[in-house]
């Protein structure tokens, strides 16, 4: 196996709070252990186009508190082609990069897995996604900050919902995973959460709204995971048809969920996992994601992290049901 002297870092896909803390941790831990580090700008596109710059400890100064990613991010169409990946590999070789660190979500780690298989490149992944949907890790970088952002927004919406006796459907991110919706509903005292893991029909929706509105509450908040077919607007329109007496509104939180300074928890998580990358490389690991389970850093094969579904703790659904009566 070729000796690793230089490590390249890129961020890919949707940005998440804490990515900068992870970049900082990988860079400084690598330099501390004697590796050279190079930052790759604009994700896989930057690797294809050769947007590569040498990093020092100063390159990552004062970024731990910043949201977004100093390396920028992009969804690369060219990297999805064999020709694009070949160009990316050639640019890696020109830059003297021996191993690649990819910070991103499911799609980003899928790209790393294919790249590693085609060119025998050691790749290490970090779970940078607000959705918390990667298997093998209890938490992903950015999830805690986003959850707190959602709760802060819902708390404000609650003021208006109560003042005007309205039903609010609040749409949050998490198209294929309901962790944000379910946990923000519990934390904000919402009456219900509509999530992919718990299929909702009209009768359940009636139960959600009716339980609060008809008995003791004059307002209600329902958190909905985004969906192209049945997001917050879909459920709001249905309630308007079935209960025309209620004042129904929709609030789609959108991209404000991604922004902001990362929470202390996300900064610590990103720092631990970033340092874990270098430990993994020194340990001879390759093609794994660095995760956290039971407060211990673990190595999760890409195949497991990407292809396995992360189960929702169904007791959370019961907790919300019981506490929203």
Residue of 131, 133, 144, 266 with catalytic role: 131
Task: Round to whole Å and give the CA distance between 154 and 157.
Answer: 5
266 is catalytic: no
Mind telling me the catalytic residues? 131
């Amino acid at each position: 196996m070729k000796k690793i002297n230089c490590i390249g870092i890129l961020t890919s896909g949707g940005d998440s709070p804490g990515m900068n803390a992870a970049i900082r941790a990988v860079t400084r831990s690598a330099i501390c252990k004697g590796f050279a580090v190079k930052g790759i700008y604009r994700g896989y596109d930057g690797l294809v186009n050769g947007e590569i710059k040498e990093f020092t400890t100063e390159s990552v100064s004062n970024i731990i508190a910043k949201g977004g990613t100093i390396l920028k991010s992009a969804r690369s169409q060219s990297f999805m082609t064999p020709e694009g990946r070949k160009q990316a590999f050639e640019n890696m070789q020109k830059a003297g990069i021996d191993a690649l660190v990819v910070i991103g979500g499911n799609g980003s780690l899928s790209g790393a897995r294919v790249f590693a298989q085609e060119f025998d490149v050691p790749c290490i992944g970090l779970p940078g996604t607000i959705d918390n949907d990667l298997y093998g890790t209890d938490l992903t970088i950015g999830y805690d900050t986003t959850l707190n952002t959602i709760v802060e927004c819902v708390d404000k919406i609650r003021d208006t919902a109560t003042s005007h006796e309205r039903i609010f459907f609040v749409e949050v991110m998490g198209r294929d995973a309901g962790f944000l919706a379910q946990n923000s509903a519990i934390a904000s005292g919402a009456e219900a959460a509509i999530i992919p893991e718990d299929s909702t029909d009209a009768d359940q929706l009636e139960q959600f709204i009716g339980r609060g509105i008809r008995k003791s509450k004059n307002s209600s908040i329902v958190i909905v995971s985004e969906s192209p077919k049945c997001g917050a607007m879909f459920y709001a329109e249905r309630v308007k048809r079935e209960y025309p007496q209620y004042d129904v509104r929709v609030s789609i939180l959108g991209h404000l969920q991604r922004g902001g300074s990362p929470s202390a928890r996300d900064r610590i998580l990103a720092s631990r996992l970033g340092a874990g990358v270098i430990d993994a490389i020194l340990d001879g690991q390759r093609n794994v994601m660095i995760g956290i389970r039971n407060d211990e850093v673990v190595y999760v094969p890409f195949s497991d992290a990407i292809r396995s579904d992360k189960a929702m703790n169904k007791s959370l659904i019961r907790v919300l049901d019981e506490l929203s009566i």
